[in-house]
Amino acid sequence: MSMRNAAATVGAAVRSIQLQTLPNWELIAIDDGSSDQGAAIVAAFGDPRIGLVREPAAAGLAARLNQAVALSRGDYIARMDADDICFPARLARQVARLQQDPSIDCLGCGAVVFVDSGRLVGVLPSGLTHQEIIAQPYRGFPFPHPTWCGRAQWFRNNPYDAKLMKTQDQDLLLRVFARSRFAALADALVGYRQDGLDLKKMLQGRRVFIGSLWRHARPGQPLPALWGIVAQILKGAADIGSIGLGLGDWAQRGRLRPVPPAVAQQWQELQRQLGAGKRAA
């Protein structure tokens, strides 16, 4: 878990890891040159399974993820953001599937989207099979980064591009999808925080992915990559139009699936447990 100025959210993120039904885990939290008290909040947990690394200067998410992978000791690595929340069964369910199917390199899962108040607003679209995930590689992969859990060796063999400040996950997938195998669990096991849209960041992400498409186009087959670039330009224009009209949040939420009632109940119970843990701390 890389964290930068995440004092407002990192406590809940770490508590959700402590609630995991799989007890044999280690959390590597790398503070990426923060100016707040996020690192102190993590240190205050006093949990020997948590390793905290404080870096004086920011290097970006990709560099810190590569650093965490190098420090890890387990057979599997799960992604975690400092503002997200894991359902208690997440690690147990994903590790069990990876153990059952040795052919899977990286496994995702369902993710509910919530806002700062804790209110759920939908479920992220995601492919479940390898074929669904890689069906249109030059248009993007429906494989949400915060849900990844994969074999440690796969992460070590396929590092993130540390130069990229955005869409590091899509760039990695674009580089390795032809020699990797992916899948995802249908059940929602991660809570993904998503508040107000930032047009500048969205356009920056699309620009970075366009660069990845151009760099990693298959030799002798530029047309699919060119169509992907056109798609990103059109999506960027749509982002500008919808946000300019004040419809950005509505358009973004319109892409989400409804939250099943059972998942909403599980989320409410998880919020209660996180709240109880915060009061005890």
**Could you give the CA distance from residue 36 to residue 112 in angstroms, rounded to a whole number?**
28
Query: Taking residues 58-78, what's their average pLDDT?
Result: 97
**Could you give the CA distance from residue 256 to residue 158 in angstroms, rounded to a whole number?**
30
More confident residue, 235 or 172: 172
Q: Looking at residue 107, which CATH number applies to its domain?
A: 3.90.550.10
Give residue 88's pLDDT. 98
Query: Taking residues 17-23, what's their average pLDDT?
Result: 97
Give residue 210's pLDDT. 72
Weakest-pLDDT range from 57-61, 97-101, 163-167, 221-225: 221-225
Are 108 and 38 a contacting pair, CB within 8 Å?
no
For residue 76, list its beta bridge partners: 151
Owning domain of residue 53 = 2-280
Give the number of domains in the chain.
1
Give residue 255's pLDDT. 76
* Predicted confidence (pLDDT) per residue in 106-154, tens digit: 999 999 999 888 999 999 999 999 999 999 888 889 999 999 999 999 9
Give residue 244's pLDDT. 53
Length of the chain as a residue count: 281
* Predicted confidence (pLDDT) per residue in 170-215, tens digit: 999 999 999 999 999 999 999 999 876 554 566 676 777 777 776 7
Q: What separation in angstroms does the CA of 168 have from each of 63, 98, 209, 273?
A: 10, 23, 9, 33
Q: What separation in angstroms does the CA of 140 have from each of 28, 56, 133, 235, 281?
A: 29, 34, 9, 12, 41
Question: Residue 248's pLDDT band (boundaries 50, 70, 90)?
Answer: very low
